[in-house]
Structure 1
Amino acid sequence: MITSTVPVLASLNLAESEAFYSLKLGFTALLHAPDYLIMARDGCELHFWLGSDRHVAENTSCYVRGDTRALHADFAARGLVLKPPVEREWGMRELYVIDPHGNLLKFGEPT
């Protein structure tokens, strides 16, 4: 009965979040309200709520399944500087992105 999950991340500034996720990660804004933002790419949605405590964002992460090598190349072509994907001992290849407010996005795929 469950069809999907949608991470809801903290944003200290929704305009900054929208710019980062669109320009650097290739997402498109579906909704930009005064206190809420919805971004989407390739069938994946990320939601953001407006907060004022950076500590919340810095202690939040989400896991996104995808082709980590292709995503790394795409993000790098968009000017994002990040380490290449790593193969983890739990059988996943992972790519890590930290957004401007401290949220950790873990992109992963089976090795």
Structure 2
Amino acid sequence: MLIDINPKLPMRDKNVTREFYINKLGFKKLGNVDYDGYLMLKKDQIEIHFFEFKELNPKDNYGQVYIRTDNIDSFYQSLLDCKTTIHPNGPLETKPWGQKEFALLDPDNNLLTFGQSI
């Protein structure tokens, strides 16, 4: 039986990715071991893994993940307070499919969409 999912996204620079997710999105490092070329981060019940891909061209990256939340307004405001850049086409809005959503890009152009059922 399936019980969880932990997406794996590409990263060019582990330090840049770690800094963005920790300082801009409020994630924390997962575990005590620092794996070469691999990074695991966690926020609340969400865990995202990253693999090193130094040759990645961000313009060619189609990595994306949809993350559900139960307090999207507060989370969105916390990102704005941290001066986190929201995707120009992804401000917080109610969608026709019954979700309140917003989106942003990480330093490697991985698209993170956050949504809450309304």
Question: Normalised by the size of structure 2, how large is the TM-score?
Answer: 0.86
- Superposed counterparts of 1:15-30, under 5 Å: 15-30=15-30
In structure 2, stretches of 5+ residues that fail to align are none
Higher strand residue share? 1
* Counterpart contact for 2:6–2:47, Cα < 8 Å: yes
Gaps of at least 5 residues in structure 1 are none
- CA distance in structure 2 between the partners assigned to 1:57 and 1:68 by the alignment: 29
Share of identical aligned residues, percent?
A: 26
Moved more, 18-27 or 88-97: 88-97
Q: Which residue of 1 aligns with 2:98?
A: 91
Any runs of at least 4 consecutive aligned residues in structure 1 with deviations exceeding 2 A, and if so which? 54-58, 81-84
Size of the aligned set, in residue pairs, is 111
Contact 2:58/2:108, CA 8 A, preserved across alignment: no
Matched residues in 2 for 1:7 and 1:57: separation? 19
Question: Which sits farther off after the overlay, 48-57 or 85-94?
Answer: 48-57
Aligned mates of 1:81, 1:35 — CA distance in 2? 26
